[in-house]
Structure 1
Amino acid sequence: MEMLLKELSSASKLLTDFKEMYEYENRLKTFTKWPFQENCKCTPENMAKAGFIHCPNVNEPDVAKCFFCLLELEGWEQNDDPWEEHTKRHTCDFLSLPKNFEDLTMEEYYMLEMTRLRTFICRIGRRIINSFEEEVATTRRHLVDYFVSKHQYTPPLPLPLSDDPSTQHSEGSHCQSK
């Protein structure tokens, strides 16, 4: 549970930090240690124009993430065009803007920001749910192992599903995606 709380805290910080990344200059500032500086297509300037920020880690010094759609790419090569790499892997509303960000009306900005927030919440929420489900499965395995070893308990076999559809419960039927 502690790991989930840390992930939620980290996600909350990213959510607010990434809001500042609408500005090209803020994205560009993240590329101070970018391995490709000149004589290539994936310069810091081109990366920032394509919505990317530099998010390196110890093992991967060339990780770049779109602040808007959260697409994360690594393994960049000098001839990789950031805009092209971004668009062929994911549809990003930031890249699809019909005009410069600075020229957006307040209404257009708020609609764009709502899309960014929805994308962020769905991506991070799914990751947190997956982590929680893994933690539950691990805990369940430990409990079953404990009862089997300490009490010679044998878990019952799962009951066969009935052929009668009215007695079956459809998991997840209450939530539908668009």
Structure 2
Amino acid sequence: MYEYENRLKTFTNWPFQRNCKCTPENMAKAGFIHCSNANEPDVAKCFFCLLELEGWDPKDDPWKEHTKRHICDFLSLPKNFEDLTVEEYYMLEMTRLRTFICKIGRCIINSFEEEVAKTRKHLVDYFVSKHHYTPPLSPSDDPSTQHSEGSYCQSK
């Protein structure tokens, strides 16, 4: 998807074709690929930073919409993709893969935390109803267990 032509090919059923700023050509130039579904025909995602946007308006400029919502190394390339050295390409690809792995990791962690909360609630409800148990403060309610949250992924 680094190549413009490959991104452009994804916009076969894009709802904005002419007389607007978010044409398939402009979308592809801004790094987007079209990834719609039946309910959302105008979903576009940056292949590099994975920013996903929907609800496009004919006046929306894809480049501006992309840059105002997210810092994307693909948009910051100092030269055309075709002119990158092998080393520059590998560094760029490592950044893209790091972004992907961090996004997937965050999803897995969030899903796990939701399951833990559901299980804890189920257990507390069970013990309260069966044994008249009074639960202690949860870690999120107890000030003595508060800590600053760090990032799961470092950007560089």
- The TM-score with structure 1 as length reference comes to 0.76
**What is the Cα deviation at residue 97 of structure 1?**
0.7
> Percent of aligned positions with the same letter in both sequences?
81
Q: Corresponding residue for 2:94?
A: 114
Q: 1:53 aligns with which of 33, 37, 40?
A: 33
Q: 1:133 aligns with which of 84, 91, 113?
A: 113
1:36 and 1:126, CA in 2 relative to 1: closer, same or farther beyond 3 A?
Answer: same
Q: Please say if 1:34 is aligned against 2:14.
A: yes
How many residue pairs get aligned? The number is: 152
Task: Output the aligned Cα RMSD.
Answer: 2.5
Contact kept? 2:102, 2:153, Cα under 8 Å: no
1:102 and 1:47, CA in 2 relative to 1: closer, same or farther beyond 3 A?
Answer: same
C-alpha separation between the residues in 2 aligned to 1:45 and 1:83? 11
1:109 and 1:32, CA in 2 relative to 1: closer, same or farther beyond 3 A?
Answer: same
Q: Corresponding residue for 1:151?
A: 131
Q: 1:101 aligns with which of 66, 81, 90?
A: 81
C-alpha separation between the residues in 1 aligned to 2:29 and 2:10? 12
- The TM-score with structure 2 as length reference comes to 0.86
**What is the Cα deviation at residue 153 of structure 1?**
2.5
Q: Corresponding residue for 1:76?
A: 56
C-alpha separation between the residues in 2 aligned to 1:115 and 1:102? 18
**What is the Cα deviation at residue 46 of structure 1?**
0.8
Aligned residue for 2:21, secondary structure, equals coil
**What is the Cα deviation at residue 122 of structure 1?**
1.5
**What is the Cα deviation at residue 33 of structure 1?**
1.0
Greater helix proportion: 1
Which runs of 5 or more residues in structure 2 are unaligned?
A: none
**What is the Cα deviation at residue 171 of structure 1?**
6.5
Aligned residue for 1:65, secondary structure, equals strand
